[in-house]
Amino acid sequence: MLFNSFEFLFVYLPIVALGYFLLAGKHSHAAGRGWLAVASFFFYGCWDARYVTLLAGSVVFNFLVARQISARWHAKAWLIFGIAGNLAALTYYKYTGFFVSSLNAASGTSLSVPNIVLPLGISFFTFTQIAYLVDAHSEKIPNYRFYDYALFVSYFPHLLAGPILHHAQMMPQFNDAARMRFDANRFSAGLALFIGGIAKKMLIADRVAAIANEGFRNAQTLTFGPAWAAAIAYSIQIYFDFSGYTDMARGISKMLNIELPVNFNSPYQARNLQDFWQRWHITLSRFLRDYVFFTIGGARRHPIAPYAATILTFTIAGLWHGANWTFVIWGLMNGIGIVLVRLTPWQMPLLAARAVTFTSATILWVWFRAVSVPDAWRMTGTMLGRDGFTALLPLPEKPMLLVMTGALLFAWLVPNSQKLLERSLWTPLWRVALGVLLALSIASFEHASEFLYFNF
């Protein structure tokens, strides 16, 4: 079930919200939280009911392991066991085919590559629970009840594509009685945020997707202009697709009086790659910093340690995004780029810095999107002028060029969703604008597509 679907918007969400506030208000807070947990597992099962058992098993496994860690009996051994169990499941579902095909390519063997369906959201609920286990070992978690933990992991607004949740941000909200009463102001703000997100997805990301898809499908034959057009189209697509999902998830949660962490903060307004990664997928960057970078020695005083740890951390981040060498190389190049930023003793003027950062990110996105390393290598070379700079045509038609130009200006200049929500969104003009955006988005539901981060 997609956020951008009739079933979700007109059936599932109203029933869940109404049931939550009625049960929490008339019966008990525990009943309200239990309703949300059941609704979240149902939401996950709408994708593929077989994988509900995987999610449930993961929740039970990690809750029990965390209890053993908190009991302080062989806590380190239980922590290692828990992390290994999570990574084993993630590796099996996400990387088995990648490892087998890579082995075949390297050794000339012809092992059968298994066709394993990647469960939606497994990367997100796995990282969420690994962080929980590590904090249990550091004695940073109280003794949570099972149904609270199950809701924390399965909470449907974040379940499929983030943000990566942290117990310290979410658990107190789930147990706050004041948040279980309907709040018209929060609901209105959440609805506005949801409408903005769905418009980003349906009216921008999905419209430019055709340009990106066509370009990357013909990566080996593109000339200079079309290569840049395809790369910029994908930069726009992934920006508004992920930003749209983030706004929709936060908006849905805000309607339920629960604040999800900010996960997207105008990354195309960043002044360098390091700043970019402090704005793009913020909760993933925070997880990698706290649970990977420091673990592999990023805080050591050796002069090389933080740079080596940065490159390794981003290489791991690349592999997390997908089981393909293109993702690994993309992560590696991001890590090297951030090291170069840290080693550069001077800063460019802001507008020039933003332009260089966007251009760098666009070139790097080629490796993220390309189907294979040869395709990424060929397209990158074309964009950098290997075949000359004069082949500018054919470019997208004028209506699409206007959409792309408007989208870029929006990403570069307009305040982010958090800042916009600080303003009054329910003046007559805003109401009309939001109503029009919602109507146009709903009219596009027939052609709705999955969010890009569903694949990660």
Clarify whether 158 is annotated catalytic. Answer: no
Catalytic pick from 29, 158, 321, 447?
321
For helices 325-343 and 305-321, give the axis angle rounded to 10 degrees: 150
DSSP state, 5? Answer: S
- Report yes or no: 273 and 341 within 8 Å, Cβ to Cβ: yes
Phi and psi based region of residue 124 (left: phi greater than 0; alpha: psi -120 to 50; beta: remaining) = alpha
Containing 105, the helix (H) or strand (E) segment is helix 75-107
Q: Say which residues have a Cβ less than 8 Å from residue 295's Cβ, sequence separation at least 6.
A: none
Q: Per the structure block, which two tokens stand in for 431?
A: 């109401």
Identity of the amino acid at 73: W
Smallest Cα–Cα separation from 145: which of 70, 27, 63? 63
Containing 256, the helix (H) or strand (E) segment is none
- Between CA 424 and CA 445 the distance in angstroms is 28
Smallest Cα–Cα separation from 124: which of 96, 159, 157? 159
- Report yes or no: 294 and 134 within 8 Å, Cβ to Cβ: no
Q: What's the sign of the alpha-carbon dihedral 275, 279, 281, 284? A: positive
- Between CA 273 and CA 279 the distance in angstroms is 10
CA 302 from centre of chain? 33
- Between CA 206 and CA 423 the distance in angstroms is 28
- Report yes or no: 113 and 273 within 8 Å, Cβ to Cβ: no
209-225 in b/e burial notation, b at 16+ Cβ within 10 A? Answer: bebbeebbeebeebbbb
Smallest Cα–Cα separation from 356: which of 341, 368, 343, 370? 341
- Between CA 134 and CA 66 the distance in angstroms is 9
- Between CA 231 and CA 208 the distance in angstroms is 11
DSSP state, 155? Answer: -
- Report yes or no: 4 and 203 within 8 Å, Cβ to Cβ: no
Q: Which residues are tagged catalytic?
A: 321
